[in-house]
């Protein structure tokens, strides 16, 4: 008996829509290249013509590279989320890994082709001529693009046999991390590696690339899995829906930050080829967001009702739009951003700090100026959305979450944003006193507010337990909180040592100057201050579950010790005759005559440090006494309940004895 398939479930085979998506990406790429002038050589001015093979082959190969990278990451991610049994992958997950090995082979070949054609493009000669002599060896070993694409080839080749041999869930997770790492070299080259705020452009581009790979690759992998009529498709699709929403937000936010760095004004979006291609990509992103909403609101219920064709039908359309976005993205990487009519001179100091030399400091500039730091901005955005998402999930479930905790978390994030995204960051790079205010806020204000927000408790309440035998986010958080590492880091003496020793180690050694000369080092230093502060105050006043906390009298003593060491550090800064990071600040002062004397600024930094810790320290002691009082009240209530229960048991027992005695008397009479 033949059963007709509903019209809504008739979906083109995987090969057909795959070819259609590739064709759409190719056409979009060619049109965008012609519009933006990216079909012309991108080599150094004055060099020859690399030829049509390089001009057109390079962007096409780059599109194949991006697409293959996304599909590889998506298939590896699918293998991770599919059910496992006793740590071993099931048949569907193994098939996903085998498919990932094929896409990784395409990725390796595409990266190798891009590697060779980029050499031809840079030297301005056809590929056979470009490979003559030792050009290839020099390009691969010394040029940033050469090293990046060579690294991609090696990483992609490593995935191929590993995906064929992996059988366990842990190996699949490691392979997924390796797949994501394969995309990292792409963020180190191109427009993001030059110009002002290039460090922010690199971070935002990396987030953009990873977000798009998870989004595009995840949808392709799910469509492939639906074509195989996978039994776990509804569960995998619902998990992907949450991931896709996060990817949409992060891709949009990182794209905005990258455009902010590349464009000097909003008008350039409509007056330059680069801006028009960017605008087209924005439209594609908005369309994808709308389709994602359709997925979540309509097709997921249909999928769970047993109609996988409804899911694939919308997914195919979404993949076509993603192909358009892919073509535009590759064309955008080949199109020069609009620049000033007269190129700005990049001075030594401008190259050192990574942004234009700032004007004389003022209170208004400290507050109102925006510093586009992608790491701070995207990290704060992620922390904000995850926290509010947890609160919203509890609200929909009918549970309550204290408003005060939410306010504390939001205020803590606001202080981190003020430190990293305002003029505080700009002038903190050129004045030790401003930097020290950043240090104090990150170490002694933001952590206090963040730990009072109780993010771990919120996550444990909001997340659902995984299936029996599975490891989900909730189980991973519980394991991390109770791990030996957490026990060591939150030990009172270890947390205190980390909190008080970090400042002495950073500022009275060469670490501080090294960190200031490298944006990555500067970010790691800021992250260190925030993390050690969080660990210390979590141990003192946190509400999240920890393996063990010291008694309240010991916590008060620990806080007093921390305040004492902090005051000693401030005095050491004020009394020191050695200029901290002297070479760095002397070099900065050559182009900023308005800067105060470096030693006077260092004394001011010490005064700020010495006086800053009093108010937060007293606030912490106040919180400790309040928590101590409430703890005693709770203990008293528990004692009263126990006493009441014991008294009730005694009364019941006495009544029972009285009844026995009464019965005995009756029997005697």
For residue 577, give both structure tokens: 């005759």
Measure the CA–CA gap between 549 and 95, rounded to whole angstroms.
47
Q: Evaluate if residue 41 carries a pLDDT over 60.
A: no
For residue 155, the model assigns a pLDDT of 94
Whole-structure pTM value: 0.80
DSSP 298-333: IIHHHHHTT-HHHHHHHHHHHHHHHHHHHHHHHHHH
Residue 2: pLDDT band by 50, 70, 90 thresholds? very low
Q: How many residues appear in the chain?
A: 669
For residue 249, give both structure tokens: 């937000």
Map tokens 């965008």 to a residue: 32
Residue 78: closest CA among 181, 195, 226: 226
Measure the CA–CA gap between 496 and 486, rounded to whole angstroms.
14
pLDDT tens per residue across span 588-643? 999 899 999 999 999 999 999 888 877 888 888 888 888 888 776 665 555 455 55
Q: Evaluate if residue 100 carries a pLDDT over 90.
A: yes
For residue 529, the model assigns a pLDDT of 93
Long-range contacts of 393-397, Cβ-Cβ distance < 8 Å, separation of 24 or more: 393/462, 394/458, 394/461, 394/462
Give 88's DSSP letter.
E
For residue 68, the model assigns a pLDDT of 92
For residue 256, give both structure tokens: 């905005």
* Averaged pLDDT score across all residues of the chain: 82
Q: Evaluate if residue 442 carries a pLDDT over 90.
A: yes
Measure the CA–CA gap between 104 and 157, rounded to whole angstroms.
7
For residue 407, the model assigns a pLDDT of 96
Measure the CA–CA gap between 505 and 571, rounded to whole angstroms.
15
For residue 162, the model assigns a pLDDT of 93
8 Å CB contact between 241 and 296: yes
Per-residue pLDDT, averaged over 97-120, amounts to 93
Measure the CA–CA gap between 368 and 565, rounded to whole angstroms.
34
Question: Which carries the bigger pLDDT value, residue 266 or residue 474?
Answer: 474
Q: Evaluate if residue 667 carries a pLDDT over 70.
A: no
pLDDT tens per residue across span 271-291? 788 788 888 888 888 888 787
For residue 551, give both structure tokens: 């008694």
Map tokens 């056409």 to a residue: 27
Pick the CATH number of 22-333 from 1.10.260, 1.20.1630, 3.40.50, 3.30.70: 1.20.1630
Question: Which carries the bigger pLDDT value, residue 99 or residue 125?
Answer: 99
pLDDT tens per residue across span 319-345? 888 888 888 888 877 777 776 544 555
Measure the CA–CA gap between 11 and 313, rounded to whole angstroms.
6
For residue 657, the model assigns a pLDDT of 63
pLDDT tens per residue across span 244-276? 888 888 888 888 777 777 777 777 777 788 788
pLDDT tens per residue across span 132-190? 777 888 888 888 888 889 999 999 999 999 999 988 888 899 999 999 999 888 877 75
For residue 154, give both structure tokens: 């090696």
8 Å CB contact between 592 and 430: yes
Number of alpha carbons in the 13 Å side-chain half-sphere of residue 595: 24
Which residues make up the CATH 1.20.1630 domain(s) of the chain? 22-333
Q: b or e along 30-44 (b: 16 or more beta carbons within 10 Å of the residue's beta carbon)? A: bebbebbebbebbbe
Residue 457: closest CA among 408, 530, 529: 408
For residue 296, give both structure tokens: 């979540």
Measure the CA–CA gap between 334 and 114, rounded to whole angstroms.
13
Question: Which carries the bigger pLDDT value, residue 318 or residue 495?
Answer: 495
Q: The dihedral of CA 38, 44, 48, 51: what is its sign?
A: negative
User: How far, rounded to the nearest angstrom, does the alpha carbon of residue 365 sit from its chain's CA centroid?
Assistant: 28
């Amino acid at each position: 008996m033949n059963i007709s398939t509903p019209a809504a479930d008739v979906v083109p085979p995987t090969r057909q829509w795959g070819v259609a998506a590739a064709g759409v990406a190719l056409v979009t790429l060619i049109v965008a290249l012609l519009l933006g002038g990216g079909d012309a050589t991108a080599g150094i001015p004055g060099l020859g013509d690399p030829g049509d093979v390089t001009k057109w082959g390079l962007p096409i190969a780059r599109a194949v590279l991006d697409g293959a990278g996304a599909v590889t990451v998506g298939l590896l991610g699918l293998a991770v989320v599919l059910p496992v049994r006793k740590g071993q992958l099931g048949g569907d997950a193994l098939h996903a890994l085998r498919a990932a090995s094929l896409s990784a082979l395409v990725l390796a070949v595409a990266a190798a082709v891009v590697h060779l054609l980029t050499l031809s493009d840079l030297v301005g000669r056809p590929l056979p001529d470009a490979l003559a002599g030792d050009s290839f060896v020099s390009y691969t070993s010394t040029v940033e693009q050469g090293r990046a694409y060579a690294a991609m080839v090696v990483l992609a080749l490593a995935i191929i046999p590993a995906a064929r041999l992996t059988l366990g869930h842990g190996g699949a997770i490691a392979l997924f991390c390796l797949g994501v790492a394969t995309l990292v070299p792409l963020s180190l080259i191109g427009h993001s590696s030059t110009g002002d705020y290039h460090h922010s452009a690199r971070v935002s581009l990396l987030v953009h690339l990873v977000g798009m790979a998870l989004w595009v690759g995840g949808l392709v992998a799910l469509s492939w899995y639906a074509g195989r009529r996978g039994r776990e498709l509804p569960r995998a699709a619902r998990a992907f829906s949450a991931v896709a929403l996060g990817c949409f937000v992060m891709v949009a936010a990182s794209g905005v930050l990258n455009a902010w760095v590349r464009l000097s004004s909003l008008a350039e979006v409509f007056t330059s080829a680069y801006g028009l291609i960017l605008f087209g990509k924005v439209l594609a992103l908005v369309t994808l967001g709308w389709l994602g909403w359709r997925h979540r609101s309509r097709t997921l219920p249909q999928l769970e009702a047993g109609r996988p064709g409804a899911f694939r039908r919308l997914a195919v359309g979404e993949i076509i739009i993603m192909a358009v976005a892919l073509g535009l993205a590759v064309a955008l990487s080949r199109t020069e951003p609009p620049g000033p009519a007269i190129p700005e001179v990049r001075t030594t100091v401008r190259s050192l700090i990574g942004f234009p030399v700032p004007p004389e400091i003022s209170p208004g500039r400290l507050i109102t100026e925006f510093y586009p730091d992608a790491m701070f901005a995207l990290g704060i955005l992620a922390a904000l959305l995850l926290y509010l998402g947890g609160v919203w999930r509890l609200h929909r479930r009918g549970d309550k979450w204290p408003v005060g905790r939410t306010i504390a978390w939001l205020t803590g994030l606001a202080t981190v944003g003020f430190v990293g995204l305002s003029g505080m960051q700009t002038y903190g790079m050129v004045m030790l006193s401003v930097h020290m205010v950043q240090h104090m806020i990150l170490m002694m204000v933001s952590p206090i507010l963040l730990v009072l927000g109780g993010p771990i408790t919120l996550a444990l309440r909001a997340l659902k337990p995984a299936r029996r035998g599975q490891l989900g986010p909730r189980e991973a958080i519980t394991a991390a909180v109770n791990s030996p590492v957490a026990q060591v880091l939150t030990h009172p003496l270890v947390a205190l040592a980390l909190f008080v020793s970090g400042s002495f180690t950073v500022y009275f050694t060469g670490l501080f100057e090294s960190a200031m000369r490298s944006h990555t080092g500067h970010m790691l230093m800021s992250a260190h201050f925030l993390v050690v502060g969080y660990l210390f105050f979590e141990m003192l006043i946190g509400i999240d579950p920890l393996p063990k906390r010291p008694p309240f009298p010991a916590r008060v003593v620990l806080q007093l010790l921390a305040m004492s060491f902090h005051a000693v550090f401030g005095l050491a800064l004020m009394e020191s005759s050695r200029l901290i990071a002297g070479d760095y600040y002397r070099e900065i002062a050559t182009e900023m005559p308005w800067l105060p004397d470096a030693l006077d600024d260092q004394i001011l930094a010490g005064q700020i440090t010495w006086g800053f810790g009093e108010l937060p320290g007293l606030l912490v002691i106040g919180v400790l006494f309040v928590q101590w009082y409430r703890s005693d009240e709770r203990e008293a209530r528990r004692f009263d309940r126990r006493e009441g229960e014991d008294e009730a048991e005694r009364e019941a027992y006495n009544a029972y004895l009285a009844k026995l005695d009464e019965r005995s008397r009756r029997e005697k009479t």
